[in-house]
């Protein structure tokens, strides 16, 4: 059964990452992308270059304040899930959604803000086996969406 998923992308700097979010969201049937904070929005050539048209087929909205989006989605029955490595996060592979998911990804270097982490119902991470401590945010999103839909 297909999982109902919306995405919050907060303070994403790279327009190419944003384009990749759209293309990946299309592949995994994400219902809506919330572009929050200073995350740029279409139309932008750099977004279109990596989105390959998905920015026209995936519903999206722009909001400065991600907390408003989190509160609204929680009231709509979504489980708020942040993708971030923290001392209390669980491995993504251990997470099984119990209801629709509102997945949060954050800034490429700083990650998901402390306020958003505190507002999350669950924080998940992708275990890293090599020397690096994290993945590119668009790669991490793809892994998370694959897990959520399988």
Q: What is the structure's pLDDT at 74?
A: 98
Domain residue ranges of the chain, discontinuous segments joined by + = 5-149
Q: Homologous superfamily of 5-149 in CATH? A: SPOUT methyltransferase, trefoil knot domain (3.40.1280.10)
Cβ atoms of 65 and 88 closer than 8 Å: no
Sequential pLDDT tens for the chain (150 residues)? 799 999 999 999 999 999 999 999 999 999 999 999 999 999 999 999 999 999 999 999 999 999 999 999 999 999 999 999 999 999 999 999 999 999 999 999 999 999 999 999 999 999 999 999 889 999 999 999 999 999
Q: What is the structure's pLDDT at 111?
A: 96
Q: What is the structure's pLDDT at 1?
A: 72
Q: What is the structure's pLDDT at 133?
A: 85
pTM to 2 decimals?
0.97
Cβ atoms of 20 and 136 closer than 8 Å: no
Q: What is the 3-state secondary structure (H, E, C) of 53-102?
A: CHHHHCCEEEECCHHHHHHHHHHCCCEEEEECCCCCCEEHHHCCCCCCEE
């Amino acid at each position: 059964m297909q999982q109902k998923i919306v995405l919050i992308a907060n303070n994403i700097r790279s327009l190419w990452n944003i384009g990749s979010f759209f293309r990946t969201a299309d592949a995994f049937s994400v219902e809506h992308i919330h572009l929050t904070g200073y995350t740029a929005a279409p139309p932008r050539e750099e977004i279109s270059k990596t989105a390959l048209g998905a920015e026209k087929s995936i519903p999206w909205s722009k909001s400065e304040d991600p907390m408003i989006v989190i509160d609204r989605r929680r009231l709509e029955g979504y489980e708020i899930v942040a993708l971030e490595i923290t001392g209390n996060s669980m491995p993504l592979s251990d997470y099984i959604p119990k209801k629709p998911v509102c997945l949060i990804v954050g800034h490429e270097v700083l990650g998901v803000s402390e306020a958003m982490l505190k507002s999350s119902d669950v924080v998940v991470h992708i275990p890293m086996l090599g020397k690096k401590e994290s993945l590119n945010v668009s790669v991490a999103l793809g892994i998370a969406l694959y897990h959520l839909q399988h």
